[in-house]
Chain A
Amino acid sequence: MIDLEFLINTLSLGSLYALLALGLVLVYGILKLVNFAYGEYIMIAGYGLYFSATVLHLPWWATMLFGVAAAVLTSYLTELAAFRPVRNKSANALIVTSFAVSIFLQNAVLILVSPRARAVQLPPIFSQTVNIAGATTPVRNLLIIGTTITVLILLSLLMKKTVLGMAMRAAADKFTTTRLMGVPANLVISAAFIISGLLAGIASIFWIGRSASVDPVTGAAPLLIAFIATVMGGMHSPTGAVVGGFVYGLLFNVLSITLPASMISYRDAFMFVIVVLFLLFRPEGIIKGGYTEERVG
């Protein structure tokens, strides 16, 4: 059963999930906030694609930039308007706020656009397929693998080589100490949200690319996937999120192929059992984080 098609499917699915998980864990690392509005950034990016193509009539590369920019802006604005005011309150306040942001954004598009799905125009290359050694696969699957590798390299350069990256890593380990060293908290947190939005936007192009349509609840499924992947991989490091994403993709595809048709509806149930086992026997995830401390505030 392990053939080239399986390999490409697993790598592309894993890449997509890794991007999703990475965006979620960056904010968690610093704020200790599981941002339930994260799925909405993906949804907003989808509507960005839709609007820039149907209303502004931009060329396809510009619609992609527009979509990603919409996600980045939304992520940054929600940080400014919603999360910053409650940052020093309890952790519960932050979580409830993220739910509120999620509901607000969903209902905003529901009222402003439509509850009905909107078709998104995709560049021609997204609809092409290639034949590699007998395996037919959409070009999109190869693009996502390449994109993820590029994003991971750039992100690790940012984290390791720049002052901002070092500040973010330090803040993820010991936020209070980092602040005492003179690193401005607002800057680090805003940067985390901006990068999180950027990853959501990029992942969104590929997520939406599969169905070519976007609706107000598009964000729910990718949010769940990102959440499970980070739980499996480890909540405390970007590496954990990436590993979690690929492990999720692998498990998903293995279950898809090995489960008989009558059991395929229970694939999610099997996935959740695995997550529960992780929580029971290795709650810190596959990759253990360095230092962990309680959230500031």
Chain B
Amino acid sequence: MKRLGAVVCLVLAVALVLPGCAAKDGTGGKDASDKIVIGAALCQTGIQAPLDEPALRGAQLAVDELNANGGILGKQVELVALDGKSDPVTVGNVAKQLIDDGAKAIIAPSDFDFGGPASREAQKAGIVGISPCASSPLYGSAALGDKQFTLSMWNTTMGAVTAEYAYNEKGWRTVYVITDDFIDYTKSLSKYFIVRFEELGGKVVFEDTYTQGQADVSAQLARIKALPEKPDFIYISSYMPDLALMIRTLRESGVTQPVVGGDSYDDPSLFEALGTQYGSDVYFDTHGYLSDEANPKYSEFAAAYEKKFKTAPEAVWIMPGYDVVMVIAQAMEKAGSTDGAAVAKAMETNTFDLFTGKLKWSDAASGHEPNKAAAMVSLTEGKPKFLGWVIPEKIPAP
């Protein structure tokens, strides 16, 4: 018992001392004034990590590039990252910690449910919070505050692009929709896809649901097979890792209709998991594509990435991660300061020419809606192919 007591005391002592040290580093005297700290409250572990971890690498690359070219407003930039662990409460806590340690802007996880808490903390502290890829229309000034942004197109755009592609380009008229009720992203993506597809004149045969983590789609499969008339295609709004299992199970059981979805499909492990046998007739829209054709200057970017991380870029999510840092830098330069309100104003009023394309946000009154194009991608025998940048003819109201 005595030993246990000693161990507990030791653990407590370490726990008390460590954050103390960390806090000292962040606010320590003159250091604070000659560098600009950007806080990344991204999720380096857990279900959100496949999106956030590459984004963090992209952000690190951008910071290196900024510092090599003189930093922001003549000051060096420091990126401090704490793991949000794919837990909304932890994300909020680490964002608060980063702000206490002197962060002038916060990079929030790429989803409303996971990233929202970081943006709320940023808003509370009066600084800009921006997510690389949160695509829920809730991610903006209306729900989170006038200094909060997302670099991603909203699901209104993401859903409309594939709806128009299916209806206009492919001539498909009927769809079976499976919506994962996991997070706001998966739910709202289906919603806007359906709105636009029905508006065009398409017919939704059935709206089915799925829950991330169930690891079984036998119920949905049975219903698809029991349909008197087969739909032209299947729209699945879900998330990795279960997405791979869903598409594989459908294909294995003889469902050959094309499968369409959003940016959660943009994961190399999904392409590999489907392989040459099942990785065909899959279409989705996303934030970019790892090629010069889609993003001029990609080769340069890839070379820099490979030099820093000793591995080739493997996921598209590094590009928005790179761009959020660049957008923060450009906005701070334009504002001439790191003041949250001034930076947010600069973000609202300027058009940004970024690595993933041109971007213009609407003002705070209309929600900071991002005006951005989507990259349409198809999958054939497990190999992705870039089909082009698309701005939908009509975007549903959020």
Interface residue ranges, A against B (CB under 8 Å): 9, 13, 107, 110, 114-120, 127, 129, 136-138, 140, 210-213, 215-218, 220-221, 252-253, 256-257, 259, 261-262, 264-265, 267-268
Sample of 17 further A-B pairs with CB below 8 A, known A140-B252, A259-B219, A261-B209: A13-B216, A117-B50, A117-B241, A127-B277, A136-B254, A210-B248, A211-B241, A211-B242, A212-B248, A213-B241, A213-B269, A216-B45, A218-B241, A261-B219, A264-B219, A265-B211, A267-B211
**Would you list 30 pairs from A and B whose C-beta atoms are within 8 A, ordered by A residue?**
A9-B218, A13-B216, A110-B45, A116-B269, A117-B244, A117-B267, A119-B273, A120-B273, A127-B252, A127-B278, A129-B252, A136-B254, A210-B248, A210-B249, A211-B215, A211-B245, A211-B273, A212-B248, A213-B269, A256-B218, A256-B222, A257-B219, A261-B208, A264-B208, A264-B210, A264-B220, A265-B211, A267-B211, A267-B219, A268-B214
Interfacial chain A residues near B181, Cβ < 8 Å:
265
Query: 5 smallest A-B Cβ distances: which pairs?
Result: A119-B272, A115-B49, A256-B219, A211-B245, A212-B273
Interfacial chain A residues near B290, Cβ < 8 Å:
none
A253 touches B267 (CB 8 A): no
Give min CB distance, B122 to chain A, whole Å. 24
Interfacial chain A residues near B307, Cβ < 8 Å:
none
Task: Give Cα A1–Cα B138 distance, bound, in whole angstroms.
Answer: 42
Interfacial chain B residues near A256, Cβ < 8 Å:
216, 218-219, 222
A116 touches B315 (CB 8 A): yes
Q: Is B156 an interface residue (CB 8 A)?
A: no
Q: Which residue of A lies closest to B206 (CB)?
A: A261
Q: Is B338 an interface residue (CB 8 A)?
A: no
Q: Which residue of B lies closest to A209 (CB)?
A: B248
User: Contacts A211-B245, A213-B241, A265-B209 given: A137-B253 contact, CB under 8 Å?
Assistant: yes
Q: Which residue of A lies closest to B246 (CB)?
A: A211
Task: Give Cα A256–Cα B225 distance, bound, in whole angstroms.
Answer: 14
Interfacial chain B residues near A136, Cβ < 8 Å:
253-254
Task: Give Cα A292–Cα B26 distance, bound, in whole angstroms.
Answer: 58
Interfacial chain B residues near A211, Cβ < 8 Å:
215, 241-242, 244-245, 248, 273
Interface residue ranges, B against A (CB under 8 Å): 44-47, 49-50, 53, 181, 206-211, 213-216, 218-220, 222-223, 240-242, 244-245, 248-249, 252-254, 267-275, 277-278, 315
Task: Give Cα A140–Cα B252 distance, bound, in whole angstroms.
Answer: 10
Give min CB distance, B141 to chain A, whole Å. 31
B208 touches A215 (CB 8 A): no
Give min CB distance, A51 to chain B, whole Å. 15
Task: Give Cα A13–Cα B217 distance, bound, in whole angstroms.
Answer: 12
Interfacial chain A residues near B315, Cβ < 8 Å:
116
Q: Which residue of B lies closest to A216 (CB)?
A: B45
Give min CB distance, B30 to chain A, whole Å. 35
Task: Give Cα A110–Cα B83 distance, bound, in whole angstroms.
Answer: 13
A262 touches B253 (CB 8 A): no
B253 touches A267 (CB 8 A): no
Task: Give Cα A264–Cα B210 distance, bound, in whole angstroms.
Answer: 7
Task: Give Cα A220–Cα B209 distance, bound, in whole angstroms.
Answer: 22
Interfacial chain A residues near B214, Cβ < 8 Å:
267-268
Interfacial chain B residues near A259, Cβ < 8 Å:
219
Interfacial chain A residues near B218, Cβ < 8 Å:
9, 13, 253, 256
B275 touches A212 (CB 8 A): yes
Task: Give Cα A136–Cα B181 distance, bound, in whole angstroms.
Answer: 28
Task: Give Cα A129–Cα B269 distance, bound, in whole angstroms.
Answer: 23
Interfacial chain B residues near A110, Cβ < 8 Å:
45
Give min CB distance, A248 to chain B, whole Å. 12
Between B208, B252, B253, B254, the greatest number of chain A beta carbons within 10 A of the residue's beta carbon is seen for B252
User: Contacts A9-B218, A257-B219, A257-B222 given: A115-B244 contact, CB under 8 Å?
Assistant: no
Interfacial chain A residues near B245, Cβ < 8 Å:
210-211
Task: Give Cα A211–Cα B53 distance, bound, in whole angstroms.
Answer: 22
Give min CB distance, B366 to chain A, whole Å. 34
Interfacial chain A residues near B208, Cβ < 8 Å:
261, 264
Interfacial chain B residues near A268, Cβ < 8 Å:
211, 214
Task: Give Cα A218–Cα B277 distance, bound, in whole angstroms.
Answer: 23
A117 touches B269 (CB 8 A): yes
Give min CB distance, A252 to chain B, whole Å. 7
Task: Give Cα A140–Cα B248 distance, bound, in whole angstroms.
Answer: 13
Q: Which residue of B lies closest to A131 (CB)?
A: B254
User: Contacts A256-B218, A261-B223, A265-B211 given: A117-B240 contact, CB under 8 Å?
Assistant: yes
Task: Give Cα A136–Cα B209 distance, bound, in whole angstroms.
Answer: 23
Task: Give Cα A120–Cα B270 distance, bound, in whole angstroms.
Answer: 11
Give min CB distance, A107 to chain B, whole Å. 8
Task: Give Cα A274–Cα B209 distance, bound, in whole angstroms.
Answer: 22
User: Contacts A138-B253, A261-B206, A265-B211 given: A252-B241 contact, CB under 8 Å?
Assistant: no
Give min CB distance, B285 to chain A, whole Å. 21
Give min CB distance, A191 to chain B, whole Å. 30
Task: Give Cα A218–Cα B269 distance, bound, in whole angstroms.
Answer: 14
Interfacial chain B residues near A118, Cβ < 8 Å:
269
Task: Give Cα A140–Cα B223 distance, bound, in whole angstroms.
Answer: 22
B273 touches A213 (CB 8 A): yes
Give min CB distance, B83 to chain A, whole Å. 10
Task: Give Cα A107–Cα B315 distance, bound, in whole angstroms.
Answer: 22
Task: Give Cα A215–Cα B270 distance, bound, in whole angstroms.
Answer: 12
A252 touches B216 (CB 8 A): yes
Task: Give Cα A264–Cα B277 distance, bound, in whole angstroms.
Answer: 29
Give min CB distance, B67 to chain A, whole Å. 27
Interfacial chain A residues near B50, Cβ < 8 Å:
115-117
Interfacial chain A residues near B44, Cβ < 8 Å:
115
Q: Which residue of B lies closest to A118 (CB)?
A: B269
Interfacial chain B residues near A117, Cβ < 8 Å:
50, 240-241, 244, 267, 269, 273
Q: Which residue of A lies closest to B278 (CB)?
A: A127
B272 touches A116 (CB 8 A): no
Give min CB distance, A193 to chain B, whole Å. 26
Give min CB distance, A206 to chain B, whole Å. 12
